Structure 1
């Protein structure tokens, strides 16, 4: 297994039956660069490698009947025990039953040195794994996905943006949507006029004090229009 850095970094230990899905973030974009610099480490534990069945089976029928299959206790337990060996990882299960992720939660999780992410499949995982080995259940929204891998990638991306060195300009994180419980203001770039629409004159004025005031006003308007519930968090 790859030797981990002792400097600033965050390790994501991912328990999944489809590690290949994570090539999407390993090979593209800002996270890819952070991985190459070893600021972020992705370490995979394929659940099938922990199955003692001849066909590497990791699921079984649910007790009590019903549709679908359930991920079995034993291979998941072995994978978690292996992933946690010699460290104090936080174990997260990506689940629609978990608490919905927030900006503040992502920022808090970025302080961790090691996070284990369990990517469920089928109808879910044996409840006894949740009862004994899971520290937190986290949801990325009130909807169902075919598996936890996509949710894990969303979580990794959201957390990693707060890890020093991943994003060069710290100011960009401080001005993100949700950082002040306000949505971001509208953005414009060249050309000044296109399809009969012009860039607001204030942005071309060079008066940074007035531009800042305009952007704050637009942020408030955007929030009132699209996510008024954010204002309750400011109270």
Structure 2
């Protein structure tokens, strides 16, 4: 898989990809992640990527020309399955979206800034718009890092145990059940006996029951 990220702050984005699971995936060549500084596609001496809104109003708007030049260069080199724009008014990211995106070969992620991008960018180039929640960030970079993490961890070979991702919260529409590890007893707090029984059929039944109970208590909206 190849992910191309268009941003005005590549230095803000790089650190998550230089550690942990994301770095391991890149080192194992399971994914390529490339950063493209939008200021390198400007035609003015000031490397300006934003301008005032037509019609007035507070806040600057990202200009269409540098975005067009960057996306056009990338799409001339390969076919892309999705061109994603990170924006607060996009579709809220969920596990099913990440599952679908993890099956693709090439994607572009455009990070918004200021008051957003010229609407013509969204009309002409963007195929999918994603939000990571109902709040506003200073830019799309942190959202793009979150999106990439949710996708990359699903790629075959990234996790040491590939079945781990399949039992995460939301994969089956439920929250994950509680989990425990050694010691079996700590300061009077005991691990449930069923988990120590070795009866894996009963253990799975217990986990499913607890997943439903936890979802009902914490996220009943998922059961509607």
TM-score of the pair, normalised by structure 1: 0.90
Report the count of equivalent residues.
223
Counterpart of 2:5 in structure 1 is 14
| Residues 86-123 of structure 1: per-residue CA shift (max 9 Å, x gap) | 32212110011111122111111112110000001111
Matches of 2:163 and 2:155, distance apart in 1: 13
Matches of 1:22 and 1:144, distance apart in 2: 17
Counterpart of 2:40 in structure 1 is 49
Counterpart of 2:185 in structure 1 is 193
Matches of 1:178 and 1:91, distance apart in 2: 25
Please, which of 72, 82, 85 is the counterpart of residue 63 of structure 2? 72
CA contact (8 A) 1:45 1:83 kept: no
How far 1:85 sits from its partner (Å)?
A: 1.7
CA contact (8 A) 2:21 2:153 kept: no
How far 1:195 sits from its partner (Å)?
A: 4.5
> Which consecutive residues of structure 1, in runs of 5 or more, have no partner in the other structure?
1-9
How far 1:158 sits from its partner (Å)?
A: 0.9
Matches of 1:24 and 1:207, distance apart in 2: 43
Q: Which moved more, 1:209-218 or 1:90-99?
A: 209-218
Please, which of 134, 138, 163 is the counterpart of residue 146 of structure 1? 138
| Residues 200-220 of structure 1: per-residue CA shift (max 9 Å, x gap) | 222222222222211111101
The root-mean-square deviation of aligned C-alpha atoms, in Å, is 1.4
- Helix, strand or coil at the partner of 1:85: helix
Please, which of 196, 199, 205 is the counterpart of residue 213 of structure 1? 205
Is 1:100 the counterpart of 2:92 in the alignment? Answer: yes
Matches of 1:181 and 1:132, distance apart in 2: 34
Aligned pair in 2 of structure 1 residues 195, 23: CA closer, same or farther (>3 Å)?
Answer: farther
TM-score of the pair, normalised by structure 2: 0.94
- Helix, strand or coil at the partner of 1:147: coil
How far 1:191 sits from its partner (Å)?
A: 2.4
Counterpart of 2:164 in structure 1 is 172
Is 1:28 the counterpart of 2:9 in the alignment? Answer: no
